[in-house]
């Protein structure tokens, strides 16, 4: 027993104002393992029951888990460092001295960290939401303390600094009922039966399996264009990721329906008027 005590009390390093003993290594490892075990029990057994009992949605569950994880990791890390015999006041003092020159270089990082905390507490954007970021659509897969990860429709992973998500214009396409309105624009030749055009567009929308029946699709006579009568087929769908494919399906079906009913889709045309044609012939 005395041998074990002597081993644990053995000094590996004894510098000025600091003594590094074997037992402190075990304390360091033990604190980290204990923190990991506490986190495992929380996320596996305790938190799921609380979430289920209080009916907390998926986005808020993720935010709560992340916040608890960050707090637990910070406390355990500081405690473990202190268990090595390192005086944390020295670290804070050195950190304060370095912060003066280092702060300007990492101010963007601190901004991202602050924005990450806001995102985790706020329910404006949650994991699973569909975002429109500068015309690119994607689903939020992770909200971290510094970055937000978005997987696009092209299966590319976009990593956004949280300050960009908070500070820039980001459109959240996810809503309470998960219904979003889309449209397909088509032009028909002047002289076409506009009522028949409306009926054909509605018929095409009604047979597509991913176009919702309620709210009902509708047709808008949008404009008398330079070369065509312009119509918009507006419909609702919950398939955000397949929106471009659904619009493509509808365009194929519209083209086929118009061909079957002799409705022409015109192309841009220009009339060229030539003055003094006789002068050109003489030349």
Q: What is the CATH number of the domain that holds 251?
A: 3.30.70.100
Tell me, yes or no, whether 17 and 55 share the same domain.
Answer: yes
Q: How does residue 163 score in pLDDT terms, banded at 50, 70 and 90?
A: confident
User: CB–CB of 212/238 below 8 Å?
Assistant: yes
Residue 276 lies in a domain: no
The strand pairing partners of 32, in sequence order, are none
pLDDT at 227: 87
Tell me, yes or no, whether 94 and 127 share the same domain. Answer: no
Residues 184 and 143 in one domain: no
**Residue 115 placed within a domain:** no
Q: What does DSSP say about strands 218-224 and 171-172: parallel, antiparallel, or unpaired?
A: unpaired
- Residues 132 and 193 grouped into a single domain: no
Please list, residue by residue across 72-99, b when 16 or more beta carbons sit within 10 angstroms of its beta carbon and e when fewer do.
Answer: eeeebeebbebbeeeeeeeeeeeeeeee
Q: Which domain holds residue 22?
A: 2-102
DSSP 8-state code for residue 106: G
Residues of the chain with pLDDT > 70, as a percent, come to 76
Q: Does any domain span residue 107?
A: no
At residue 102, the pLDDT reads 46
**Which residue's entry shows tokens 């990082």?**
109
Max mean pLDDT among 1-5, 253-257, 275-279 falls in 253-257
Mean pLDDT, the chain, rounded, equals 80
Which of 139, 156, 172 is the last residue in one of the domains? 172
| Interval 175-218: pLDDT, tens | 656 788 999 999 999 999 999 999 999 999 999 999 999 999 99
Q: In terms of C-beta density within 10 A (0-12 exposed, 13-18 middle, 19 or more buried), how is residue 20 classed? A: middle
Question: Do 147 and 187 belong to one domain?
Answer: no
SS3 174: coil
For residue 251, pLDDT beyond 50: yes
Q: Give the Å distances, CA to CA, from 99 to 95, 104, 137, 146.
A: 6, 8, 38, 19
Per-residue confidence (pLDDT) for residue 7, from 0 to 100: 44
- The 10s digit of each residue's pLDDT in 33-62 is 999 999 999 999 988 888 887 676 676 677
**What is the per-residue pLDDT across 89-144, written as a single tens digit (0 to 9) for each?**
655 555 555 555 545 455 666 677 777 777 777 767 888 888 887 777 888 888 87
Which range has the worst mean pLDDT, 154-158, 169-173, 197-201, 219-223?
169-173
Count Cβ atoms within 10 A of the Cβ of residue 46 and give its class: 0-12 exposed, 13-18 middle, 19 or more buried: exposed
Is 8 inside any structural domain? yes
Domain CATH for 135: 2.30.30.60
85 neighbors 17 (Cβ within 8 angstroms): no
State the Cα angle at 62 between 143 and 168, rounded to 5°. 30
> For residue 193, what pLDDT is reported?
95
Looking at the domain assignment, is residue 42 inside a domain? Answer: yes
Total number of domains constituting the chain: 3
């Amino acid at each position: 027993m005395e041998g074990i005590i002597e081993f644990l009390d053995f000094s590996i390093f004894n510098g000025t104002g600091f003594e590094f003993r074997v037992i402190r290594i075990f304390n360091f490892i033990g604190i980290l393992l204990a923190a990991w075990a506490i986190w495992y029990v929380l996320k596996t057994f305790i938190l799921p029951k609380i979430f289920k009992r209080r009916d907390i949605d998926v986005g808020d569950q993720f935010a709560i888990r992340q916040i608890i994880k960050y707090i637990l990791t910070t406390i355990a890390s500081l405690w473990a460092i202190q268990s090595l015999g390192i005086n944390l006041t020295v670290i804070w003092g050195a950190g304060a001295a370095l912060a003066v020159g280092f702060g300007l270089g990492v101010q963007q990082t601190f901004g991202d960290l602050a924005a990450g905390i806001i995102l985790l507490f706020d329910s404006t954007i949650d994991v699973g939401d569909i975002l429109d970021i500068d015309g690119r659509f994607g689903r939020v897969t992770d909200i971290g303390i510094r970055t937000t990860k978005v997987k696009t429709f092209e299966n590319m992973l976009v990593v956004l600094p949280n300050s960009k998500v908070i500070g820039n214009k980001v459109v959240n396409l996810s809503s309470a009922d998960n219904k979003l309105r889309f449209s397909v624009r088509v032009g028909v030749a002047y002289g076409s039966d506009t009522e028949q055009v409306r009926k054909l567009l509605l018929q095409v929308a009604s047979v597509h399996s991913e176009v919702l029946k309620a709210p009902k699709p509708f047709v808008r006579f949008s404009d008398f264009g330079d070369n065509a009568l312009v119509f918009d087929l507006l419909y609702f769908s919950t398939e955000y990721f397949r929106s471009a494919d659904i619009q493509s399906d509808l365009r194929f079906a519209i083209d086929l329906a118009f061909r079957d009913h002799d409705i022409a889709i015109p192309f841009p045309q220009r009339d060229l008027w030539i003055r003094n044609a006789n002068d050109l012939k003489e030349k």
